[in-house]
Structure 1
Amino acid sequence: MDADVPRINSLRPPEKPSFNFPSDEEIPIFPSMASTSETVPPQTKGASTPNQPLPESSKLALIRFVSGEFAKAVKSLPAGKQGFDFTVGKPLNTELLDRAVATRGAAVNSGDNVQITQLEFRAHEIVVDLNGGGRGKHHWRDHLQIGIGGSYPTMQSTQETGPPGLQPGMGSTIFLEWNKFVPDMTPEELKHILSPFLNFQNERSASVHWIDTLPPEMKKAIQERRPVVGMDREEVVAAIGKPDHKVRERDSEGNDIEDWIYGQPPSKTIFVRFTVDHVTKIEQFPQ
């Protein structure tokens, strides 16, 4: 039997070591949160799906939070409608950029304060206009009028003149290009893509500041992405984007009215009517 005693003892769990705590020492009951946060990194959920094409909701977010933003030019940028082509994901070819500036002149100089005045979305490109862009906006359709029943509504392709000093054709244009398609992205990701050309740090945010100045009911409607009576054109664009079609005419009292049409019948279609500068009527078909 004595020979079995060592084997039995080996099957017993080892005795827990005993500790002697000084009488004046505090014993922590809960684990240290500092050490836990260092060993377990917080999980973050991606706001975009870069393997998918850019959806309409993300386009609206880019228009709301990037178009209109101010920045400082990191590089001089060329004038002219050719602008500058930049393939996203590849290093900036500074030699090619400098050659374009030397050939066509500088619309924006390094260190200048600039504003993004328009974003245009294409299948493989995002076109970024700075200070009005280098492309003119004139088109033969700008002056097309169609008379129906004695009235003369103008089918919209209006000239966007921009604020003073930011006239179309007087600034510069950057063509951001992707090989397959324009992927989904957040406003901050687009700003990062533009970082070889523009520095957004320490510059005032035009879009956020503008939305914060709106009345609460207008701000809420924009956040909920719905138009409401009383909005101006800028607020409607911020809420539901640019329309598919515009029709201008005069009412029986001689007031300028403009209908913004979203969608195409018989599918869901929204009609937003402006009288002079503000929304006076909203209709949706089918109800």
Structure 2
Amino acid sequence: MSNWTVIPLAFLLLADADIPRANSLRPAEKPSISFRSDEEIPLFPNTGNSSDNTQSQEKSTGTSRNAPLQESSKLSLIRFVSGEFAKAVKALPAGKQGIIVYVGKPLNTELLDRAVATHGAAVNTGDNVQITKLEFRDHQIVVDLNGGGRGKHHWRDHLQIGIGGGYPTMRSTSTQEGGPPGLQPGMGSTIFLEWNKSVPDMSPADLKQLLSPFLNFEKERSASVHWVDTLPPEMKKAIQERRPVVGMDREELIAAMGKPDHKVRERDAEGNDIEDWIYGQPPSKTVFVRFTGDHVTSIKQFPQ
């Protein structure tokens, strides 16, 4: 019985092979892909695009880094660089001409040695120095060390009128503005950092790096650390924790909280001068610090 079933099926299969265009009813086979023997097959076809994206990101990042020096950055440089102590790596010349450093170019040691030989050394190698002033110009940052080499004169300091018998006489005198002992203006040295373009935005660490050929900050304690160490323990702890405390003066509060967003001055009912320093802006967290005279007398925070 099974043999009779197999034989008709075999005839049907043979007949199907002879039907015209029967193969057209079958699905077409996928064409095989052939490669030339010398053709390279990329394993990661998107690598080129990703590198282009990376380069574009680096380019955009570089553009932001080349932005002009911001006002907020100037405040940071003054706060964290001006007043800092360092050890001199090279001798630096006296005089108002100082030494000009072209940022991005090798230091001209021959020119530096010539300036020291001509004007004398205001700072010798190994001396402890202090950055006493930072001045920001369009294309320069001027750094004064130990009072700088630029003495400050006023035209009226050169005139002295003597009144006596006969006609008044005029004599020329020269006086300079006072400064900390040993750090008189004109008795130190000045470094001119020159960019030949707008000064780029930078951090305090960036500025210290630019000054590293002349000054070593690593083994010197920060000027702010010297000052904080002289404060009472409760004030020192509050500054480290960045919080205001009743009894602080303005300098201590700035060290703890920074400069306020707003200041309001007025007089109370008793005629005392009061000043409110406001940190933040409602409805966000806002801290009101009140000075009566020179010290903090009350602190309020909203919301509680």
1:90–1:200 distance in 2 versus 1, CA, 3 Å? same
Q: Contact 1:128 / 1:173 at 8 angstroms: preserved in 2? A: yes
> Would you say 1:127 and 2:151 are equivalent positions?
no
Offset of residue 88 of structure 1: 0.8
The alpha-carbon distance between structure 1 residues 85 and 234, as it changes in their structure 2 partners (threshold 3 A), is farther
1:102 matched residue in structure 2 = 117
Shift of 1:213: 5.4
Out of 105, 115, 120, the position equivalent to 1:90 is: 105
- Asked whether the equivalents of residues 66 and 116 of structure 1 are also in contact (C-alpha less than 8 Å), the reply is yes
Aligned mate of 1:51, from 57, 66, 84: 66
Going from structure 1 to structure 2, the CA distance change for 1:234 and 1:219 (only over 3 Å counts) comes to closer
Are 2:202 and 1:202 equivalent residues in the alignment? no
Looking at secondary structure, tell me which structure has more helix per residue. 2
Q: Against the structure 1 CA distance between its residues 110 and 161, is the aligned structure 2 distance closer, same or farther, given a 3 Å change threshold? A: same
Higher RCO structure, 1 or 2 (CA under 8 Å, sep 6+): 1
Q: Distance in 1 between matches of 2:154 and 2:259?
A: 26
User: Which 5+ residue runs of structure 1 have no aligned equivalent?
Assistant: 1-45, 144-158, 242-272, 281-287
1:184 matched to 2:201: yes
Q: Which of 205-214 and 72-81 deviates more?
A: 205-214
AA aligned opposite 2:105: K
How far residue 110 of structure 1 moved from its aligned partner, in angstroms, is 1.0
Match of 1:174 among 160, 184, 191: 191
Write the distance in 2 (CA, Å) between the matches of 1:59 and 1:132: 20
Question: TM-score by structure 1 length?
Answer: 0.54
| Alpha-carbon distance, 1:102 to partner | 0.5
**Residue 56 to residue 77, structure 1, CA distance change in 2 (3 Å):** same
Say whether 1:61 aligns with 2:76: yes
Q: Which residue does the alignment assign to 2:130?
A: 115
Mapped to 2, the partners of 1:235 and 1:134 lie a distance apart of 33
Cα distance change on mapping 1:165 and 1:206 into 2, 3 Å:
same
Residues 131 and 234 (structure 1 numbering): CA distance in 2 closer, same or farther, change over 3 Å?
A: farther
Specify the code of the residue in structure 1 equivalent to 2:74: K
Please say if residues 60 and 240 of structure 1, whose CA atoms lie closer than 8 Å, have aligned partners that are also in contact.
no
**For the structure 1 residues 212 and 55, does the alpha-carbon distance in structure 2 shift closer, same or farther, using more than 3 Å as the test?**
farther
Contact 1:49-1:183 at 8 Å conserved across structures:
no
Deviations 1:232-254 (A, max 9, x none): 5797699449xxxxxxxxxxxxx
Cα distance change, pair 230–166 in 1 and its aligned pair in 2 (3 A)? same
The equivalent of 2:94 in structure 1 is 79
Which position in structure 2 is the counterpart of 1:248?
Answer: none
Alignment pair present for 1:193 and 2:223: no
Contact 1:134 1:169 in 2 (8 A): yes
Q: What is the Cα-based RMSD across aligned positions, in Å?
A: 3.8
Asked whether the 8 Å contact 1:131–1:166 carries over to 2, the reply is yes
Structure 2: unaligned runs, 5 residues or longer = 1-60, 159-175, 261-290, 297-304
Q: Does the CA contact (< 8 Å) of 1:125 and 1:182 recur in 2?
A: yes
Question: Quick check: 1:73–1:108 contact (8 Å CA) kept in 2?
Answer: yes
2:48 corresponds in structure 1 to none
Q: Partner of 1:96: helix, strand, or coil? A: helix
Pairing 1:16-35 to 2, within 5 Å after superposition: none
What is the CA–CA distance in structure 1 between the aligned matches of 2:198 and 2:252, rounded to whole Å?
28
Q: Is the 8 A contact 1:218 1:231 kept in 2?
A: no
Residue 185 of structure 1 aligns to a residue whose secondary structure is coil
Contact conserved, 2:239 with 2:255, CA < 8 A, in 1? no
